[in-house]
Amino acid sequence: MPKPALAPRPLAPFADELYLLEEMLGPWQQKHAKELRRVETLRKMFRESCITLAADKDRTVIGNVGVVEIGPRGFQDVVNFATLRTLISQKDLDAVASVTAKALKDAEVAPEIIVQVTETLQTGWRPLKVFAKT
């Protein structure tokens, strides 16, 4: 197996910081894994409760001992595909247009077509492991 590429030295202090933080939090995270999963589940539940709420509106939920504020949706750039198609050539459109496998499934494209047009590529997240320097 080839040796992994070494990262530039400017990242070295951050490697140390991450190692020390994970060393400190590691036992705590394991001890409280169930609670951390519950926190993520609750956060997801609150966000999903706002699906039908207008994007610019927020919501406050007041409990007996706590308050949860769910803010308005964040902004992100979205391309208007119909307008783009009228403004650039088909060649340029072919060069930039892309579609996700999820979008095909959501559009209920036939499974036999999805199989023909999709492929698995190594484009996902990189796993990160932290350990003591030996």
pLDDT (tens digit per residue) in 71-90: 888 888 778 888 888 999 99
Q: How many angstroms separate the most distant Cα atoms in the chain?
A: 60
- State which residues form the domain around 88: 77-121
For the chain, percent of residues with pLDDT exceeding 90: 7
Residue 134 lies in a domain: no
Shared-domain flag, residues 68 and 13: yes
Q: Indicate if 57 and 105 belong to the same structural domain.
A: no
Same domain, 68 and 83: no
Q: Is residue 54 domain-shared with residue 98, that is, in the same domain?
A: no
| Predicted local distance difference test score (pLDDT) of residue 112 | 92
Residue 130 lies in a domain: no
pLDDT higher than threshold 70 for residue 3:
no
Q: How far apart are CA 107 and CA 110, in angstroms?
A: 9
- State the pLDDT at residue 87: 92
To 10 degrees, what angle do helices 33-48 and 12-31 make? 100
The one-character DSSP state at 50 is T
Q: Which SS3 state, helix, strand or coil, does residue 62 take?
A: strand
2 domain-assigned: no
Query: Model confidence over 102-111: pLDDT tens digits?
Result: 888 998 999 9
Q: Give the global pTM.
A: 0.51
Q: Report residue 48's pLDDT band, with 50, 70 and 90 as the boundaries.
A: confident
> What is the pLDDT of the chain when averaged over all its residues?
82
Band (11; pLDDT cuts 50, 70, 90): confident
